[in-house]
Amino acid sequence: MIRLATRDDLVEIATLVEEEVGSSPYSHLFTPAEINATHLRTIIFNCLHLGYIWVDVRAEGIVGYLIAIREPNVWVPSRTSLREFAWYVRPAYRGGISGGRLFVKFCEQGDRLIAAGTIDAYFTTRMSNTADYDLESRGFRLTEKLYVKECA
């Protein structure tokens, strides 16, 4: 079941965020001991109040989430957007419908906010380890790619 998260979900979401951070394309840049659970909980709490956190809840608990925040445009702060901040599904639940259902909720909310005039656009990203799905067929257009150069 996909639903909006509540404060009661924060610790469980933080556990999933730790999993995501530890398995991200950036995970080789730090040790697991450097992941600060208190810091992650603070970020998640702030995201809960700045936007939306959808969770996929199964009998065994939360197996995935999509976090989206409303934010002013950096260059034109009178304009606001909704940005996918983090999106993660536990590996055992990938390849099914969990990630897609979370994404649909994000898009539905983005469309509602655009229709209401609350935001001007909504954004999603694709990590290098993300499945290759067709965003343009959903009305998105490619605007940029993000590259990283790392320390040696």
Which domains does the chain carry?
Answer: 2-138 (3.40.630.30)
Q: How high is the pLDDT of residue 135?
A: 72
Residues 116-151 pLDDT 10s: 999 999 998 876 556 666 777 777 888 877 777 776
Confidence of residue 27 (pLDDT cuts 50, 70, 90): low
Beta strands (DSSP E) in the chain are: 2-4, 51-58, 61-72, 80-89, 121-123
| C-alpha to C-alpha distance for 35 and 54, rounded to whole angstroms | 23
Mean pLDDT of 82-94: 93
Instruction: Supply the pLDDT for residue 120.
Output: 95
> How confident is the model at residue 30, as a pLDDT?
73
What are the percentages of helix, strand and coil residues in the chain, rounded to 5? 40, 25, 35
Coil/strand/helix, residue 54 = strand
What does pTM read for this prediction? 0.86
